[in-house]
Amino acid sequence: MPDTLPSVDDAVALGLTREEYALIVDKLGRAPNEVELAVFSLLWSEHCSYKHSRPLLRTLPTEGERVVMGPGENAGAVDLGDGWAVAFKVESHNHPSAVEPFQGAATGVGGILRDIFAIGARPIAVLDSLRFGEPTSPRSRYLLDRAVAGIGHYGNSIGVPTVGGEVYFEGPYEHNCLVNAMALGLARSEDMVRSAAAGVGNALVLFGASTGRDGIGGASVLASAELGEGDADKRPTVQVGDPFAEKKVLECSLELLERGLLVSLQDLGAAGLTSSSAEMASKGGVGVDLDVARVPLREAGMAPFEIMISESQERMLCVVAPGSVDEVVTVCERWEVHGTAIGSVTDTGRLRVLHGERVVGDMPVAALVDECPVYELDPRRPATPLYPVPTPTPLFAGEEEPSVREILLALVAAPNITSRLPLFEQYDWLVQSRTVRRPGEADAAVLLMPTGAAIAVSIDGSGRRVAADPYTGTVEAVLECAANLACVGAAPLGLTNCLNFANPEKAHVAWQLTESVRGLGDTCRALGVPVVGGNVSLYNEGAEGPIYPTPVVGMVGELPDPARAGRAGFAREGDLIALVGAFAPTLGASELAKLRGEALPAELPEADVVAAQRTHAAVRDAVRAGVLTSAHDVAEGGVLVAVAESCLAGGMGAALERRPLAALATALTPRRSKRERGGRLPEPLAAALFGEAPGTAFVVSGDREALDRLEARTHLVELGRVGGDALAVGEDLAITLAVLREAHSALGPLFP
Amino acid sequence: MRFGVVRFPGSCDEVDALGACGRVGEAEILWHGDRDLRGVDAVVIPGGFSYGDYLRVGAIARFSPVMESVTAFAREGGPVLGICNGFQVLCEAGLLPGALLPNVGLRFLCRQLEIEVVDAGTAFTGACAPGDRLSIPAKHQAGRYYAPGEPRVVFRYAHDGNPNGSSNDIAGVANEGGNIVGLMPHPEHAVDPLTSSTDGLRLFESALALARA
């Protein structure tokens, strides 16, 4: 041990408060040494302890008939029948990606994949949810380009398809991008493994890559503090990913489990050996002795605390009966990964860190994991707007109101709406031969299951709408995810979430977080969808202010017949096109409002969850019955954009009638209409054509019988017919598919 | 007929290839560390990132023990199909001419595309006719084929759809004997109408027809 103990100032430098340091001294009965302080600082960081969010997360519904594994394990899982389960989880890697986007995004994928195979599931899919500043900013383009390359590098190389995702561009993410990755895995229910250490005298075996100085302090220094000046200096805290190493660790883990050699398994993520060992011990109610001198190192001369907190990637920790250690090591050798017994399970309830014979740290596990102080939030609604008003795009900067044609083309070309194909083409979306609906083909990805049925998965979240109204914005995110599933004929099974927020110690952020979690919980309860796991990423703000609060929701559902999975594109000339659902769109916080350069509204109109659920069920059943040719939810940009997207996805035009759209506008006209804008496009008509009410309505196509079937169960308005090579509205508007397609390819130039 | 599908550390598409072979015959995995080809009738070197594709794509895999046996098997006229990374390995092993360079865009690209059968006289195209168009996905970052001289071209990208800058739109080639074929697109990912087209099956059916002949 070093001669001098670290001081309280050292503790503060590691991210602890003075009060927390005093509490640690109290728990230990003495001042912590270097190793102990490092361990406490990581486990008591927000990233590991959820000390600002834990009470809120407890309010979420987590139980359901189909839940096999809930929050608290490496990933959640739901039952698929026939003994199969699907595991899934979403996690953030925001701060590493803001500092070094390629490795940050790559290791984000690597980390979430390890969470999946740590419970014994084979990873079968990745989705990602990305947020950057406006693409007019060179830094945002750089972050986008490198993050996409990093996600592809890891997912493509390890043989897990990237089947979906979303990307949005908004000013408040300029200095703090978001990179969330979601992974799904497939397991036999009886083969799944938990992470609780058990069996006093059992061995702890560390396997996978060797341990180096990369990623030291990532959880506390990067993930639990605001970004600011000098972030480039933090590059050494970003881990470096090696998908080839992880592929070997993945296959090795699954073989060890298949052979029944493991008592429990845990991946090494944030805070490395520290959090994995302490959490395994805590869950099992046991103690752990670790000898850091036995850890295979990448470089010589690493201090014990460095070995304990290193975030070197592609490592796993398992508990093994003493008699099985040799066989475990043999399997590791076959896969050409290190496999080393580095400690044992004890009955002391303490985490003891040894370096050979010498004890270099000795801490009660309960103090590390369970007794971290939990902070009450002080939520207060902000009195003044938090976010700058966006700059209007050139089209809206002039005197004259643009035409419907100009607005539609501007929306179709808007960074948040334009085709994501240039991203998806950089990902392998087909490896493993399960992908029934590929990116862009439908509103949700559809994956074939060994049961003969299929699962669908979607990821969603609109920071701008949550910024306007944290409660309703979050309700909408859940509804939109469920709507996406309905479009392919899937019913929700479970949900995972990643709560990306700014500094919760600030009252207005605490309010956003509290309201958002309330919206999430209420909607999940209303829809009967359990939350099986998730992740919290706080302190997402830079000197310029906070990010838009961004709860990202990933939802998994099932559909019985993969051959009938829905598609988004029109596909049959002469089909009727209809708008389905009780649709009351507004322009506040819409994509059009952003293009116009309008401030966020003070709140959003309440979403009718019951009506939305009824509509989802009607659309889902029609898709399952195979009567609809296409189904697509009305999201950013409103009805006309949704129709345009279905035209482009199917390569077919549409002839809409004026009357139903005008009627919708009339319905949206306030009794005493006050015209805020002059010009060609009255506000109610703009709301009818381009307004948004996420998750509540769909554009579908099919024959008369299909529409009658839907109309019997939910609100339906016929809009027109599929056909021709243009999107036309009455005699007023006709835009050829070629023109639409060109507008919709606006992201291409970002990936030269 | 029995196919053997090689598994290297870092192979990604071996299970898909196994499934595709299994649709027309029997199929089993051949471990990279084994020299024993277990008496299979045809060998498939699958896609993926063998040995992480470190150093250069396919450069390390060619030195694995199993490749010694595959090379001997191929030299004796045994049918060998290299898909994507497998094509790269076969070029590195000298079983096929030429090399695969990084795509012109320098990006990984995953796309459903059409290839045209140029040569229906190989072990894996006997069930096709010259001029046939097959809809098959391609996904790679180093698929730009280059060879001095005139290789035996088996497939070309159709409709000006060359995704990687490959010389003369070459998507696949064979050795002079026609028993060794390599291509960048993935026929094993075009065998099930639920997930893609079924055009890729024709390659595996060709091998089956040859084995029965």
Residues A454 and A322 in one domain: no
| Residue A547 contacts residue A179 (beta carbons within 8 Å) | no
What's the CATH number where A589 sits? 3.30.1330.10
Å between A63 CA and nearest CA of chain B: 33
Cα separation, A106 vs A101, in Å, equals: 8
Kindly provide the b/e burial profile for residues B112-147, where b requires at least 16 CB atoms within 10 angstroms of the residue's own CB. bbbbbbbbbebbbbbbbeeebebbbbbbbbbbbbbb
In chain A, % of residues over pLDDT 90: 84
Name the residue among A439, A448, A520 with its Cα closest to residue A477: A520
Name the residue among A277, A262, A292 with its Cα closest to residue A345: A277
| Interface pTM, i.e. ipTM | 0.96
Contact criterion met (CB < 8 Å) for B53 and A157: yes
For Cα atoms B61, B67, B69, give the angle at the middle one, nearest 5 degrees: 170
Q: Tell me, yes or no, whether A447 lies in a domain.
A: yes
Nearest to A425 among B111, B192, B196 (CB): B111
pLDDT of residue A47: 83
| Residue A432 contacts residue A445 (beta carbons within 8 Å) | no
Residues A428 and A352 in one domain: no
Residue A533 clears pLDDT 70, i.e. is over it: yes
Residues A239 and A335 in one domain: yes
Residues A283 and A336 in one domain: yes
Helices A34-43 & A272-284, crossing angle to 10 degrees? 70
Q: pLDDT band for A671, please (50, 70, 90 cuts).
A: low
Residues A567 and A633 in one domain: yes
Query: Which residue, chain included where needed, has tokens 């334009």?
Result: A418
Q: State both tokens at A714.
A: 């939910």
> What residue of B is the nearest CA neighbor of A564?
B194
Q: pLDDT band for A544, please (50, 70, 90 cuts).
A: confident
Cα separation, B126 vs B178, in Å, equals: 10
Residue B212 clears pLDDT 90, i.e. is over it: no
pLDDT of residue A195: 87
Kindly provide the b/e burial profile for residues B15-40, where b requires at least 16 CB atoms within 10 angstroms of the residue's own CB. bbbbbbbebbbebebbebeeeebeeb
Kindly provide the b/e burial profile for residues A182-221, where b requires at least 16 CB atoms within 10 angstroms of the residue's own CB. bbbbbbbbeebbbbbbebeebbbbbbbbbbbbbbbbbbbb
Cα separation, A601 vs A592, in Å, equals: 13
Cα separation, A570 vs A576, in Å, equals: 10
> What residue of B is the nearest CA neighbor of A252?
B9
CB–CB contacts below 8 A, A to B: 84
For Cα atoms B10, B11, B14, give the angle at the middle one, nearest 5 degrees: 155
Residues A554 and A636 in one domain: yes
Q: Tell me, yes or no, whether A395 lies in a domain.
A: no
Name the residue among A696, A519, A551 with its Cα closest to residue A610: A696
Residues A204 and A315 in one domain: yes
- Amino acid at residue number A510: A
pLDDT of residue A1: 44
Cα separation, A116 vs A519, in Å, equals: 27
Nearest to A426 among B11, B49, B108 (CB): B108
Backbone angles phi, psi at A566, to 5 degrees: -70, 160
Å between A433 CA and nearest CA of chain B: 6
The runs of H, that is alpha helices, within A584-692 are 591-596, 609-624, 638-650, 658-668, 683-690
Mean pLDDT of chain A: 93
Task: Give the C-alpha distances (Å, rounded to integers) separating A153 from A106, A110, A130, A241, A244.
Answer: 7, 10, 16, 10, 10
DSSP calls for A78-136:
EEEETTEEEEEEEEE-HHHHHHSHHHHHHHHHHHHHHHHHHTT-EEEEEEEEEEES-TT
pLDDT of residue A667: 87
Residues A419 and A541 in one domain: yes
Contact criterion met (CB < 8 Å) for B192 and A247: no
Q: B53 contacts in A (CB within 8 Å)?
A: 157, 244
Q: How far apart are the first and last CA of chain A?
A: 54
Residue A237 clears pLDDT 70, i.e. is over it: no
Kindly provide the b/e burial profile for residues A520-551, where b requires at least 16 CB atoms within 10 angstroms of the residue's own CB. bbbbbebbebbbbbbbbbbbbbbeeebbbbbb
| Residue A607 contacts residue A581 (beta carbons within 8 Å) | no
Name the residue among A603, A545, A579, A586 with its Cα closest to residue A692: A586
What's the CATH number where A199 sits? 3.90.650.10
> What residue of A is the nearest CA neighbor of B139?
A428
Q: For the residues A596-600, what does the mean pLDDT come to?
A: 96
Enumerate the domain spans of chain B: 2-212
Q: For the residues A463-470, what does the mean pLDDT come to?
A: 97
Q: pLDDT band for B136, please (50, 70, 90 cuts).
A: very high
Residues A361 and A423 in one domain: no
What residues of chain B have any CB closer than 8 angstroms to a CB in chain A? Answer: 9-13, 15-16, 19, 48-49, 51-54, 105, 107-111, 137, 139, 141, 186, 188-189, 192, 194-196
CATH architecture under which domain B2-212 falls: 3-Layer(aba) Sandwich (3.40)
Q: For the residues A54-59, what does the mean pLDDT come to?
A: 94
Nearest to A435 among B52, B105, B195 (CB): B195
> What residue of A is the nearest CA neighbor of B140?
A428
Q: B12 contacts in A (CB within 8 Å)?
A: 157-159, 247, 428, 431
Per-residue model confidence as pLDDT tens digits over A125-151: 999 999 999 999 999 999 999 999 999
Q: Tell me, yes or no, whether A208 lies in a domain.
A: yes
For Cα atoms A14, A19, A21, give the angle at the middle one, nearest 5 degrees: 45
Residues A270 and A357 in one domain: yes
Q: A435 contacts in B (CB within 8 Å)?
A: 195
Per-residue model confidence as pLDDT tens digits over A254-303: 999 999 999 999 999 888 999 999 999 999 999 999 999 999 999 888 99
Domains: count for chain A: 2
Residue A537 clears pLDDT 70, i.e. is over it: yes
Q: For the residues A496-510, what does the mean pLDDT come to?
A: 96
User: Higher model confidence: residue A543 or residue B99?
Assistant: B99
The neighbour count for residue A577, using CB atoms within 10 Å, is 27
Residue A417 clears pLDDT 70, i.e. is over it: yes
Å between A122 CA and nearest CA of chain B: 13
| Residue B103 contacts residue B164 (beta carbons within 8 Å) | yes
Task: Give the C-alpha distances (Å, rounded to integers) separating A412 from A246, A463, A641.
Answer: 39, 20, 7
Q: A248 contacts in B (CB within 8 Å)?
A: 9-10
Beta strands in A481-549 (DSSP E): 491-500, 531-537, 541-542, 545-546
The runs of H, that is alpha helices, within A300-419 are 304-309, 325-334, 365-369, 394-397, 404-412
Residues A351 and A447 in one domain: no
Contact criterion met (CB < 8 Å) for B15 and A432: yes
- Look up the domain containing A408 and give its range: 403-750
pLDDT of residue A341: 97
Per-residue model confidence as pLDDT tens digits over B18-70: 999 999 999 999 999 999 999 999 999 999 999 999 988 999 999 999 999 99
Catalytic residues of B: 84, 186, 188
In chain A, % of residues over pLDDT 70: 95
Sign of CA dihedral B87, B93, B96, B97: positive
Residues A423 and A341 in one domain: no
DSSP calls for B105-158:
T-S-EEEEEEEEE----STTTTTS-TT-EEEEEEEES--EEE-SS--EEEEEE-
Q: State both tokens at A373.
A: 């102080």
Name the residue among A292, A286, A273, A275 with its Cα closest to residue A354: A292
pLDDT of residue A233: 58
Q: For the residues B158-186, what does the mean pLDDT come to?
A: 97
Per-residue model confidence as pLDDT tens digits over B84-96: 999 999 999 999 9
Q: For the residues A232-242, what does the mean pLDDT come to?
A: 69
Contact criterion met (CB < 8 Å) for A244 and B189: no
Nearest to B195 among A159, A428, A436 (CB): A436
Contact criterion met (CB < 8 Å) for A335 and B9: yes
Query: Which residue, chain included where needed, has tokens 């026929």?
Result: B187
